[in-house]
Amino acid sequence: MDIVLLMGLQASGKTSFYRQVFKETHVHISKDLWKNNKPYKQQKLLLESLNAGRSVVIDNTSPTREERAALIQTAKTREAKVIGYYFQSRLQDCLERNQNRDRQVPALGLYATFKKLQLPSLEEGFEALFYVELAEGTFVVSPWEEP
């Protein structure tokens, strides 16, 4: 059983990556799917899924160590492995892709996330980390290298 954290700017390809790679095997938890974004809802769904023995993908920006810490701690208490995928992308590219989404994020939201975005680290409790880039419509996954 594992928890996969997708991290990166809005419109960086996280949900499309989930659909391509994890849709058949992992529960999808995304704040984008809820009309009212209640902070406790994500944690509740995560606990329910892990308690049922299901692997989970958390498909949110998860930009800071603090936001990731609670998710990682929950996974560890349920003896789930934590795997992270950090979506490398330029702010301008995400702003442009955002314009083509059905549910657009206000540009200020992208700027705010960009400002607080922190690179993840294995020290946070990840068993594995990967970089993901969107190149010509294809996801390129690379091994993580600690700075």
Per-domain boundaries in the chain: 2-143
Looking at every residue in the chain, the average pLDDT score rounds to 91
Question: Token digits for 6?
Answer: 């997708």
pLDDT at residue 36 in the model: 66
pTM given for the model: 0.92
Instruction: Read off the pLDDT of each residue in 21-31 and give the average, rounded to a whole number.
Output: 94
- What would the CATH number be for the domain defined by 2-143? 3.40.50.300
Helix and strand totals (H; E) in the chain: 5, 6
Residue 124 to residue 133: CA distance in whole angstroms: 22
Q: Which residues pair with 3 in a beta bridge?
A: 56, 82
Which residue has better confidence, 103 or 29?
29
pLDDT digits (tens, 9 = 90+) for 58-72: 999 999 999 999 999
Helix (H, G, I), strand (E, B) or coil at 112: helix
